[in-house]
Amino acid sequence: MRIHSLQHVPFEDIGSMASDFRARGYSLTSTHWYRGDAAPAVSDFDALIVMGGPMGIYDEALYPWLATEKALIKDAIAAGKILLGICLGAQLIADALGGKVTRNPCKEIGWWPITIAPAAASHPVAQVFARSPEVFHWHGDTFALPPGATHLARSEGCSNQAFCYGDKVYGFQFHLETTPASARALIEHCAEDIDGSRYTQSTQAMLANEERFARINRAMGEVIARIFNPEQV
């Protein structure tokens, strides 16, 4: 399978997903919008991973490539590709499907639990969340559930944490792919987000227990199996 990722800043890549995909023998390519890469053709990939970033989906004046990215996402959905959006990526996919993106009432940064939406009790991806409910967050915006999508998860601080649209399109507001190294990079580049508000943790709290990262990375591997190879699960 040909996996293509869309990366918005140097410090937010696909994290632990890279080793999961390579272990499955998948090929990996990427577009780095921040350095001026051209968009791929939809025929160039089988699955699209849309990553996070500190910008918002409406910041096209500052980041003109956002318009190109939004068009690519819509075309990939229409072509029946597998899509997985993480954080900003989930917001971009929600927007493409008609779900409005707005500021969340509060930032969520650090380790906070999610709960499974009632409609998703038997969903195979949501079942992974249920076994690993404490996940890593770093966001200030959120998405409304797109029309026709299934609500998968929520948290105390954010009503819409995850959704799926059919069986090929997924958006996660939280991060299962984050490693200790990528968490430190986020802290280095986005420290101004850590403002002491209700759902933001200190740097020390975020990095205190590296086993947390290993646990969410294992959950990410399970999620990949259920999205990319459901017939083998």
Q: Could you give the 3-state DSSP secondary structure of residue 12? A: coil
Residues of the chain above pLDDT 90, percent: 96
User: Is the predicted pLDDT of residue 231 greater than 80, yes or no?
Assistant: no
pLDDT-derived band of residue 138, with 50, 70 and 90 as boundaries? very high
**Cα(180)–Cα(231) distance, integer angstroms:** 32
For the chain, the domain total comes to 1
Q: How many helices (H) and strands (E) does the chain have?
A: 7, 9
**Cα(93)–Cα(87) distance, integer angstroms:** 10
User: Is the predicted pLDDT of residue 233 greater than 60, yes or no?
Assistant: no
Contact 16, 217 (CB under 8 A): yes
Q: pTM for this one? A: 0.96
Contact 72, 42 (CB under 8 A): yes
Q: What is the pLDDT of residues 16-50, one digit of tens each?
A: 999 999 999 999 999 999 999 999 999 999 999 99
CATH of the domain at 220: 3.40.50.880
What does the DSSP 8-state code read for residue 200? B
Residue 230 tokens, joined: 């459901």
**Cα(34)–Cα(32) distance, integer angstroms:** 6
pLDDT for 67 equals 97
Dihedral of CA 180/174/125/94: which sign?
Answer: negative
pLDDT for 232 equals 59
**Cα(75)–Cα(90) distance, integer angstroms:** 16
CB atoms within 10 A of CB 56: 17
pLDDT, mean over the chain: 96
pLDDT-derived band of residue 229, with 50, 70 and 90 as boundaries? confident
Amino acid at 8: H
Q: Domain of residue 89: give its range.
A: 2-232
